[in-house]
A = this chain, B = another copy of it.
Amino acid sequence: MFSKLFKATLITFCIFVFVFANALNAKEHPSLILTKEGVEKIRDNLGKVPLFDATVEKIKAEVDKEIALGIDTPIPKDFSGGYTHYRHKQNFVIAQQAGALYQILQDEKYAIYVRDMLLQYEAMYKDLPVHPQVRSYAPGKLFWQCLNDSNWLVFMSQAYDTIYDFLSSEEREKLENNLFRPFADYISLANPAFYNRIHNHSTWGNAAVGMIGLVMDDQALIQRALYGIQDDGLAVGGVDDDGGTIKSENQKRGFLANLEEPFSPDGYYTEGPYYQRYAMYPFLIFATAMQNKLPEYGVLQHKDNVLLKGIDALLNLTDADGDFFPLNDGQKGMSYFTPSLVTAVNIGYYYGNQNPELLSIAEKQNEVLLDQTGLAVAIGVQANMAEPYTKHSVNLSDGANGDEGGVAVLRSGQEDLTAVFKYAAQGLSHGHYDKLSFSLYRKGTEVLQDYGLVRFVNVGQKGGGNYLKENASWAKSTIAHNTLSQNQEMHFGGDYKTGSQHHSDLHFYADHDEKVQVASALETNAYPGTRMHRTIAFINANDFSEPFMLDIMKVSAKKAHDYDLPFYYFGQVIQTNFDYIKPSSLSPLGDKNGYQHLYLEATGKPSADTTQFSWLHEGKFYTLSTLTAPSDEILMTRIGANDPDFNLRSEPGVMLRRNNTQDTVFVTIVEPHGSYSPVTELSLNSNSAIKSLELLHDDKAYTAVRIEDVKGKTQLFVVSNLDAEKTREHTLTIGSKNYRWEGPYAYITAP
């Protein structure tokens, strides 16, 4: 038996030889994604590599079913969610797969299917008007927006490449002149507002034009893909359907610009993981096609391999079930099981450094690409090379240069507790007004949620599957997030342009100590005149059965304001240490800025300095302990007011309200504990281990929190508010005690 290391080296070497050998045959077909050599290797291995064979079988079954149904290219009519939308989408997916099957199985029926479908499109496209549903800033022809037309071309380019040699030159000419070139021109030259942006829309558009350009060996299209339309005639300004900027001052354009700007050097994509997952496909597929056909451009390696880094960043932005954190506009439930992540994992493995941890994701996906990358992954899996993809804490910068804030993900244990702390930039048009917000997970379960978006993607009955108006009025609002609202206003007044000029800043990030992990960040622009400094720490204390989260939000303001700090939990209220009153009728908490969507379910007053609120969710108890002043209020809320079409989810929150206050510190512990099973009916460890919190010290330089547990043991956590140098020595006297430590925070047991 070969050793694992030897096998890995061998695979790496073979791939290396393969990648370079391939680049020599740029004009043969297929050569875009699937290559001639790739096909040969695949055919040599057919029936020998279980994961690959299973994928072939699965896709063959799907494609055969579609072939049996017959080709349908209906006259475009519907929004997403409707039949014509679904059918054209299904067509390009199936055509791409059928093309791959033709190459792999060498059964002409697949080539005939693709050819006939393309010819039907050719016949229709010539005279096709703009899509009748004119709601987009850039309507497509097959679909209601150019974006979906671009999806079509990205996939159909691959299909065309695989059957290129099967077609007669007359057929090719017909398709290229009447379908592909006009199609590429329509989504680019005819729609510069769509094509020339820095936006995932343009990435799809650029990739589409570039892919078909590569297949047709059309240099003009390739250049247009890489560098955009040189003179687009667009004025600076203008917004799309979601309020996103179309053209800003000195805006770059084209695929490479789209690769440079939204990706940080760490591979974080400024729109957030939901859109990164979506954009990843055109990014990777066109970069791979360029690698295969024009490697000298170095597109796949551009910006210090940022695309390959992006794959890792994206996988790190998932919970234990593989679901992406729904930062900004993100539909919950989207996960690394989506086809674009199969693409990402396969390409990342093959063109990256054959990280064996990627193989374990591929095992879970239980599917590979039908090309040489998928074969390599399947061979790696078969060779038992897979190692668990272990997610650690990670800090990802935002901004093209990595200097526009970021996202910190703290993880404890095997994702037993995960906090996602967002101190990023606005995130383009899909950004939310949620500076310094966080969400909390236990394995794959949301504990304190980020609401995500208000949209039922592709569910036609819900506004054509598009963004619903509550996305702007609720989901983007500040109060919809686990962060501070001031005077019931949104960060940046909810103004996109202002928000886009600013970002939060990292104070420090420290994950070297499994016992205490800390992320600390500042926001000074969201509310002019108010400085917010939030520090989130995971503390794995000796006397606690499980780690807890400490959250310190220090507010320094030029004048007094009203503050609200909400926490959106799930489950059933179990206990509070304060009294509350439930009104007989539920009314909205406010009339704008998201408050209009919250019902006020109860109002409480603290009965102690440490206010506690416990709940039960999916068999786990949680307690939120927070430092309160006697004049504070605790509001219990529920989402769903002023929601005429039932677009919102009815979910609860608990909010700390502190009115008419200038400088203040919010100190909160969120603590998972114990368990409940409806089968054993055992309620274990159902009480909080926290007895009290105390703000032992707070000034410009230091904030110190003392935590006493129910056994009477104490812990002290100190954060240095001004100086975040790793090696700085600090001394602080509190009462009669002197504390001395190095670095931006101190954690002291039995202080």
Contact = CB atoms under 8 A, between A and B. Distances in A.
Interface residues of A, number: 55
Interface string A446-478: 000000000011111110010000000000000
Contact of A586 (B458, B574, B585): B585
A585 B587 contact: yes
Contact of A642 (B337, B575, B584): B584
B638 A650 contact: yes
Given A599-B586, A679-B337, A681-B331, A574 B459 contact: yes
- Which of A339, A573, A586 has the most B CB atoms < 10 Å from its CB? A586
A676 interface: yes
Contact of A679 (B334, B616, B687): B334
A678 interface: yes
A197 B677 CA distance: 30
Nearest to A678: B333
A373 interface: no
A174 to B, nearest CB: 32
A686 interface: yes
A458 B682 contact: yes
B683 A572 contact: no
A633 interface: no
A676 B332 CA distance: 13
Nearest to A582: B644
> Chain A: interface secondary structure?
loop
Contacts of A86: 682-683
Contacts of A339: 680
A616 B678 contact: no
Interface in A70-85: 81
Interface string A540-582: 0000000000000000000000000000000011110000001
Interface string A663-707: 000000000000011111111001100000000000000000000
A572 B649 contact: yes
A612 to B, nearest CB: 11
A610 interface: no
A499 interface: no
A588 B678 CA distance: 30
Contacts of A649: 572
A217 to B, nearest CB: 34
A572 B646 contact: yes
A652 interface: yes
A335 interface: yes
Interface string A334-352: 1101110000000000000
Given A333-B679, A458-B681, A584-B587, 18 more contacts: A332-B678, A337-B679, A338-B679, A456-B683, A457-B678, A459-B683, A459-B686, A460-B683, A461-B574, A572-B649, A573-B645, A573-B646, A582-B643, A584-B588, A584-B641, A586-B599, A638-B650, A650-B652
